Amino acid sequence: MTTPALPALRRTPLRRLAGVDRLAVAGAVLLAVVVLAALLAPWIAPYPEDGGSATHPLEALLPPSGAHWFGTDQVGRDVLSRVLFGARTSLLIAVAVLAVSGVAGVVLGVVAGYAGGWARDVIMRVTDVFLAFPALLLSLALAVVLQPSVTTVIVAIAVTWWPWYARLTASVAASVATRGFVDSARCLGVPAPLIVLRHVLPNSLTPVLVQLSLDGGGVILTAAALSYLGLGAHEPTPEWGLMVQQGQTLFTTDWWVVTFPGLAILVTAFAFNVLGEGLRARLAR
Amino acid sequence: MPGYLIRRLGQAVLVVAGVIVLTFAVMRLVPGDPAVAYAGPKATAAELAEARRRFGLDDPLPVQLWNYVRDLLGGDWGTSLHTRQPVRDDLFQAFPASLELVGAALIIALVAGIPLGIAAARYKGRLPDLSVRLSSMLAVSVPVFWLALALQTVFASGLGWFPVAGEYDASLDRTSPLHLYTNITAVDALITGNWPILTSTLSHLVLPALVIAAYPAGVVAQMTRAALIEESSRDHARLERALGFGETAVLTRFALRPALNPVLSLIALVFAYSIVNGFLVEAVFNWPGLGRYAADSIRSLDTPAIAGVTLLVAVLYVVANLAVDLLQGVVDPRVRAR
């Protein structure tokens, strides 16, 4: 009895994997590496204290070597350690922004899509206004009037990001609302809030989830740009955009100070984009 | 069509009104007192009160909003705190340079992105396709400010192939002064036949334009590929294959034109995004456009100037959106019915 069951068991995850776009897998693996780096930073960073405010003036601007794989920065901190700790800042911002704007957008979108009528009109006109600002522009204006910090970055980007999810969810929810099972629920006397929660919402989420993973890269880039402009994280927070800004005058002489944090932004944004593209291709099939 | 036109125009006006209110709201969040910023830290109480009265900061918020809208429509966009000039004049001066830069970038993006998209669609699922998809994803993932720094360091400071910064060699203003018509340096130099300034501007344009082009080029390549693949699975493509046209001919001679429609509308939408992305690039290459103006304004917490830049770009976006929708409405009647 057990013998024939075993190969079937073994094949299932493989078969499932073969159905998934190879790009999605590659993106997920790359992203997992970044997430692991962020989670394990205090243990895998060669000089964990350099993730904070430690300074070693005598070891300033050492080129990459066995002791410092990515070299050291202006105040002698290990660049590799700071890049690893920087993953925490960037991923924290990305997760917070996507969670806040995703929830806000989905709630408003599902209401607009299911209710229709004037509720839909009001919500959609408000999203139109927000969508008229390129994300970086509005978050820039917001970040200028708020105090520069990681929280400011999260708030500023989330304010500009939710309308995308509201619009997407509204269009999906509107089409779900016309389906037979929603009509049936209505005929059975199920109250509207319950219909939205139990039937419309779960069936409208997939495209939003794909969009969320596609947008991770955009959030990381926007956050890095704000920090680069001095509107986000500040010393001694290890943040990739800030590291590029602080090292930019040294690029010609001490290339490693700017190159590695920039590559870290690139790799992380790339991982999100590859994963999102793969998921989208899978969804379109 | 008139009904669609009026509806779409009304929508755009509504959005612009909302954009003005939102900009006003953001600017009123300022924790600091704009009167202090204007009058300076050593101002007396009387001077502060005078500044506050002049900017109408004593009025209730709805009155302030009403005054703000009235001034905007009357052409008064406020006075910049750091240049001490009318914001509108500053924007008029800076915008053509940004337009020049982003225009060049979008041309590069189309010239590079469309052929790459065609190649990817032609060899779908094979090596050229995979490399185009991966490189276009890389192009949209690269932080522009970092790419700008890298290219500047390698190709300008390092190899000396291109100038490090600026729009053109300023010493040329004396030897071959430029007559301004459009305020876009490259265009003015071209129509007045001012070759020294034209060649200098073009060589200054290469690096910053390439950096800004990365994102739209990636998006254009992806979009072209997707649209071509969809178009070449339609019935007309089957007929063309049956008539003996090769795969390349089906793509470039028949599928490309309908496939370019969404690509061109995409470009209009990417335009505003590229202007803002250009802010970071302008700062690195010291390009005298909106971005440098915005960066200077941010540094001096110059809220009227930041509000002006924000408003200008948002309105540009609404106008670009409107233009695309109307054009598509003309070309494709189905759009009007929506």
Could you report the per-residue pLDDT of A121-140, keeping only the tens digit for each? 888 888 988 888 877 888 88
Q: B137, A126: Cβ pair inside 8 Å?
A: no
Q: Which residues of B315-327 are buried (b: 16+ CB within 10 A; e: fewer)?
A: bbbbebbbebbbe
Does residue B190 have a pLDDT over 80?
no
A200 interface with B at CB cutoff 8 Å: no
Cα gap A260→A71, rounded to integer Å: 10
Tell the residue number behind the tokens 């909003």, with chain if given: B65
pTM for the model: 0.85
Cα-based angle A149, A153, A154 (whole degrees, multiple of 5)? 115
Q: What is the pLDDT of residue B194?
A: 78
- Pick the closest to residue B15 from A13, A80, A128 (CA basis): A128
pLDDT above 90 coverage of chain A, percent: 21
Average pLDDT rounded to a whole number, residues B299-304: 80
Q: Which domain holds residue A276?
A: 70-284
Q: Give the nearest partner residue to A132 out of B30, B147, B314, using CB atoms.
A: B314
Confidence tier at A98 by pLDDT (50, 70, 90): very high
Q: A269, B313: Cβ pair inside 8 Å?
A: no
Q: Could you give the ipTM of this predicted complex?
A: 0.83
Interface mutation vs chain A, best among B14, B21, B27, B146, most A CBs within 10 Å: B146
Cα gap B319→B9, rounded to integer Å: 10
The DSSP symbol for B252 reads I
A281 interface with B at CB cutoff 8 Å: no
Tell the residue number behind the tokens 């000396």, with chain if given: B160
Has residue A25 been placed in a domain?
no
- Pick the closest to residue A185 from A174, A173, A197 (CA basis): A197
Q: B144, A147: Cβ pair inside 8 Å?
A: no
Has residue A39 been placed in a domain?
no
Average pLDDT rounded to a whole number, residues A144-158: 86
Confidence tier at A57 by pLDDT (50, 70, 90): confident
Work out how many domains chain A is built from and give that number.
1
Cα gap A261→A70, rounded to integer Å: 10
Q: Give the nearest partner residue to B137 out of A145, A248, A270, using CB atoms.
A: A270
Does residue B216 have a pLDDT over 80?
yes
Has residue A21 been placed in a domain?
no
Q: What is the pLDDT of residue B310?
A: 87
Give B119-137 pLDDT, tens digit per residue: 998 888 888 888 898 899 9
Confidence tier at A2 by pLDDT (50, 70, 90): very low
Q: What is the pLDDT of residue B332?
A: 66
Distance from CA of B140 to the nearest CA of A (A): 8
Through-space distance between the first and last CA atoms of chain A, rounded to whole angstroms: 37
Has residue A8 been placed in a domain?
no
Has residue A275 been placed in a domain?
yes
Interface mutation vs chain B, best among A121, A145, A267, most B CBs within 10 Å: A145
* B31-35, B87-91, B124-128, B198-202: range with lowest mean pLDDT: B31-35
Q: Give the nearest partner residue to B310 out of A141, A230, A255, using CB atoms.
A: A141
Average pLDDT rounded to a whole number, residues B190-211: 83
Average pLDDT rounded to a whole number, residues A175-201: 84
Average pLDDT rounded to a whole number, residues A70-78: 82
Give B159-170 pLDDT, tens digit per residue: 878 887 777 777
B320 interface with A at CB cutoff 8 Å: no
CATH number, domain of A266, equals 1.10.3720.10
Does residue A11 have a pLDDT over 60?
no
Has residue A225 been placed in a domain?
yes
Has residue A28 been placed in a domain?
no
Has residue A44 been placed in a domain?
no
Who's near B161: CB < 8 A, 6+ residues apart? B155
Q: A265, B146: Cβ pair inside 8 Å?
A: yes
Cα gap B154→B34, rounded to integer Å: 42
